[in-house]
Every structure is written in C-alpha cells, then in structure tokens.
C-alpha cells in the first residue's frame, strides 16, 4: 500500500511539472529554437543526474545487455517521441496535440498487456474511460484552424512512442536502478538530438543572455527533465503500468491551471467538470491497485 501511494505521488508530481512546463517553455521558445532547447535541457539534465550518480557510495555497473534497454528508452522515448511532439504540434496546433497525446494512457495499457502481461480489468477500463472523458471535457473537441492530417498522424506516433517508453522503463527497472536508466537514456537522447540542434543553429540565432531565459532553460533542464523524468520512471517502476498511466492526465489539467494563474487564460466550467472526472478515474484505479 505504501509503495502504491509513493508511486502515485511520484507520477502526480512528474505529470504536474510537465503541465506547468508549458508556461516556461512558451516564454523561452520565443528566444531559443525547439531542438536547441531540447538539447540544452538534456545537457543540463544529464550533468545533474550524472553528478548525483557519482555521489552514490555504491558503484554502478551497467552490463552490455543492459545498454540495449537504455538505448531503446533514450531513442524511442526521449528522442523520437519528443521530436514527434514538436513536429506534430507544428503541423497542427497545440490544442490538437494535447487532445491526441491524451491517448497515451490507453496505449500504455495495451503495451503493458502485450509486454508485461498485465490484466486488463473492468475497473481499469472504467477508470481509463472516465479520465479520458475528463481530458476531452477540459480540452474540448473543436480543433484549431491549422490542424492537418499529417500533423495528427505524427502526434499519434508521439503518443505511441511515449507509451512504449513507459513500459520499457518498467522492464528495465527490474535490472537497473531508476537513476541509472534515466541518466544514461538522457545521454543517448542527447547524442541523437545533437545533429538536429546543429542544423537549427545554422539557420537561426539563439539569444541566451537575458537572465529570465537562463533561469527558464535551467528550470526546464533541472526540474522538468532531470527531476520529472526520474520521478515518472520511478513511479512507473513502483506501480502497475496500466494504473500509473492514468497520472499522465494530470498534465493537461495542471497546464490549464497554470495558464490561468500565470498567463491569465480563462478557465471555463468544463475545466472543473473535466478535472473531477480525471481525479475520479485516477482514484478508482489507485484504489483497485491498493486492493
């Protein structure tokens, strides 16, 4: 029971951080191109996590076979999925991106059934339907004018790859610590992102001298990447993957709340109704997990 509650806490904090990240990244992206920002996030996150790893008294030994899982997590989750999110949102719009990527928990449930042989219970499906309905209520069904078929397809790819990442992390955590997985998977993604960052810098300039931009990049690297990636992986390690997936829905909920607090965006009644559905779905799933 304690393990379930701690896993729920880790996943809630990680998803909430990503929801709040929208406010910071919206400001920083006016001065730093997207893949350059991702590269900077990964450089900072890897430096922080590797430093923490070196401070541990116990020496970490990563066997040759373990690098396979680290590589898959870094490439599929932290490189391909994040890249597809950027490209898909650019070809469509942020609204469509939020709506389509809300399908991620459903994909996690399916991958967990296939790769982890987790049971798909009636209670789990009911919780998923409730939480998904909540996201649709919060975001709404009307898309933006710039939506495109290709953008939507790419966003589905982003949702699929992040779902696969979450299940791969649970498999790898049986052999490696969460800190090791997160640290070296980010390093793999950093290597993969470098060519795209270089290509951006050839075409665009970057302005990093303004203190708010520096603080924003540091926040995204330390809190939203090093901290949130670690907490998400740790939470998925401690819980049934299908149940843990529902905490992903806190991301649009917190994102909307932070947009209201800091960007003065309006919250409609739908936000509160949808939020209640999301929380109800998560509570049902967690109670089943504790049982």
Please check the confidence at residue 188 and state whether its pLDDT lies above 90: yes
pLDDT for residue 70: 95
pLDDT for residue 96: 63
Residue 176 or residue 148, greater confidence: 176
Range 9-20 average pLDDT: 88
Q: Residue 78 and residue 161: Cα distance in Å, rounded?
A: 9
Instruction: Tell me 103's DSSP state.
Output: T
Question: Which tokens hold the place of 81?
Answer: 């999925």
pLDDT confidence tier of residue 196, bands split at 50, 70 and 90 = very high
Do residues 248 and 106 touch, judged by C-beta distance below 8 A?
no
Do residues 238 and 3 touch, judged by C-beta distance below 8 A?
yes
Give per-residue pLDDT as tens, 53-65.
988 877 677 788 8
Do residues 260 and 23 touch, judged by C-beta distance below 8 A?
no
Matching residue, tokens 């076979």: 65
Range 22-51 average pLDDT: 89
Please check the confidence at residue 259 and state whether its pLDDT lies above 90: no
Residues in the chain: 291
pLDDT confidence tier of residue 88, bands split at 50, 70 and 90 = confident
Range 137-142 average pLDDT: 66
Do residues 141 and 208 touch, judged by C-beta distance below 8 A?
no
CB atoms within 10 A of CB 11: 28
Please check the confidence at residue 156 and state whether its pLDDT lies above 60: yes
pTM of the complete model beyond 0.95: no
Please check the confidence at residue 144 and state whether its pLDDT lies above 60: no
pLDDT for residue 94: 58
Range 39-48 average pLDDT: 96
Q: Residue 196 and residue 83: Cα distance in Å, rounded?
A: 10
| Maximum mean pLDDT: which of 141-150, 258-267, 276-285 | 276-285
Q: Residue 49 and residue 227: Cα distance in Å, rounded?
A: 9
pLDDT for residue 145: 47
Q: Residue 67 and residue 165: Cα distance in Å, rounded?
A: 15
Instruction: Tell me 176's DSSP state.
Output: S
Do residues 158 and 81 touch, judged by C-beta distance below 8 A?
yes
Instruction: Tell me 162's DSSP state.
Output: H
User: What is the rounded radius of gyration, in angstroms, for the C-alpha atoms of the chain?
Assistant: 18
Alpha helix ranges (H) inside the chain: 2-28, 34-55, 66-72, 82-91, 94-101, 104-115, 122-139, 149-172, 178-203, 211-219, 228-238, 241-244, 250-262, 269-290
Range 271-288 average pLDDT: 80
Which phi and psi (to 5°) does residue 135 adopt?
A: -65, -40
Q: Residue 35 and residue 86: Cα distance in Å, rounded?
A: 8
Give per-residue pLDDT as tens, 46-55.
999 999 998 8
């Amino acid at each position: 029971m304690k393990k379930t509650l701690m896993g729920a806490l880790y996943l809630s904090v990680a998803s909430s951080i990503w929801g709040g990240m929208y406010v910071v990244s919206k400001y920083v992206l006016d001065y730093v191109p997207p893949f350059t920002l991702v590269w900077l996030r990964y450089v900072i996150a890897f430096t922080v996590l590797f430093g923490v790893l070196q401070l541990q008294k116990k020496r970490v030994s990563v066997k040759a076979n373990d690098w396979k899982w680290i590589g898959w997590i870094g490439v599929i989750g932290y490189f391909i999925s994040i890249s597809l999110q950027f490209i898909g949102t650019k070809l469509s719009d942020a609204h469509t991106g939020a709506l389509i990527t809300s399908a991620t928990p459903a994909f996690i449930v399916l991958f967990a059934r296939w790769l982890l042989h987790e049971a798909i219970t009636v209670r789990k499906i009911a919780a998923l339907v409730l939480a998904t309905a909540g996201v649709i209520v919060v975001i709404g069904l009307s898309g933006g004018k710039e939506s495109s078929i290709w953008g939507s397809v790419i966003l589905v790819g982003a949702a699929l790859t992040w779902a696969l990442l979450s299940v791969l992390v649970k498999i790898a955590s049986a052999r490696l610590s969460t800190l090791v997985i997160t640290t070296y998977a980010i390093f793999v993604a950093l290597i993969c992102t470098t060519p795209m960052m270089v290509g951006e810098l050839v075409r665009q300039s970057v302005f990093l001298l303004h203190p708010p931009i520096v603080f924003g990049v540091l926040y995204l690297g330390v809190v939203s990447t090093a901290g949130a990636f670690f907490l998400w992986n740790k939470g998925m390690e401690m819980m049934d993957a299908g149940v843990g997936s529902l905490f992903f829905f806190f991301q649009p909920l917190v994102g909307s709340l932070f947009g209201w607090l800091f960007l003065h965006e309006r919250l409609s009644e739908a936000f509160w109704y949808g939020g209640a559905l999301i929380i109800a779905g998560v509570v049902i799933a967690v109670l089943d997990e504790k049982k």
